[in-house]
Amino acid sequence: MTHRHVFPLHMPPHETKSRPSANLETVLVALADVFARMVVAEYLRDCGYEVVEAGSAEDVITVLRAGQTIDVLLLDAQISDGQGFALAREIRQARPGIDIVLTFGIAKSAEKAGEICDDGPLQQPYHPQEIVRRIQKLRRRRKTGSD
C-alpha cells in the first residue's frame, strides 16, 4: 500500500535555527490537555530540558517546519482527533533524527515523562484531579523550596 503524506513534513524547513541553549536537549511536548501539557513541560524543564509546547498536530507541524531543533517528541496519540499515529508515522520518515515517544492519554504521558527525567515517574494513577494536585505541589515547592 502506498503511504500518502497527510502532513506537509516532507517540505524542508526554511532555515535551521540554532537551539536556544546549545547544551540542552529539546523536548517537544505535544499534548492536547493543557494541564497535562503544563505539568509535564514544567517537570521536564526542572529536569534540565528545553521544552517546546504544542497543543495540536498543526502546532507540531509548525514547530518542525520552522526549523526548531527537536530531539524528542512526546506525542499524544489522540491529539487533534486522533491524528497522533499518522503524524508520528510521517515524522519518523521525514525527521528520523527525532525520537518519538507516543503516549495514550494523560497517565501514559506522565509515565513517559518520568522515564525521561531521573526524578522518577509522576504519581500514578494520574487522573485530571491528580494533575491539579501536581500543579499545587509544584507551586508549593517553588514557594517553599521543599518537595
Partner 1 sequence: MSAQKRPCPEPESDLRAPTVLVAEDEVLIRTMLAQHLRDAGFRVVEAANAREATDIMEAGETVDVLFTDVRMPGENDGVWLAQLVQQNYPAVRIVLASGERDVGQAIVGAKLFSKPYDLDLVENHIRHLLAAAREPALWEESD
Site residues (vs partner 1, CB under 8 A): 20, 25, 27, 34-35, 37-38, 41, 45-50, 52-56, 59, 62-63, 66, 68, 71-72, 99, 115-119, 132, 135-136, 139, 141-146
CB of 2 to partner 1, least distance (A): 30
**Measured between alpha carbons, how far is residue 22 from residues 18, 36, 67 in Å?**
8, 27, 15
CB of 1 to partner 1, least distance (A): 29
Q: 9 or 72: whose CB is closer to partner 1?
A: 72
Task: For residue 119, report the phi and psi dihedrals to the nearest 5 degrees.
Answer: -75, -5
Q: 2 or 81: whose CB is closer to partner 1?
A: 81
Q: 2 or 146: whose CB is closer to partner 1?
A: 146
Judge contact between 35 and 132, C-beta under 8 A: yes
Judge contact between 86 and 6, C-beta under 8 A: yes
Q: 93 or 115: whose CB is closer to partner 1?
A: 115
Whose grid coordinates read 515523562?
Answer: 113
CB of 11 to partner 1, least distance (A): 16
Which residues face 100 on adjacent strands? Answer: 73
Judge contact between 67 and 17, C-beta under 8 A: yes
End-to-end CA distance of the chain: 52
CB of 118 to partner 1, least distance (A): 4
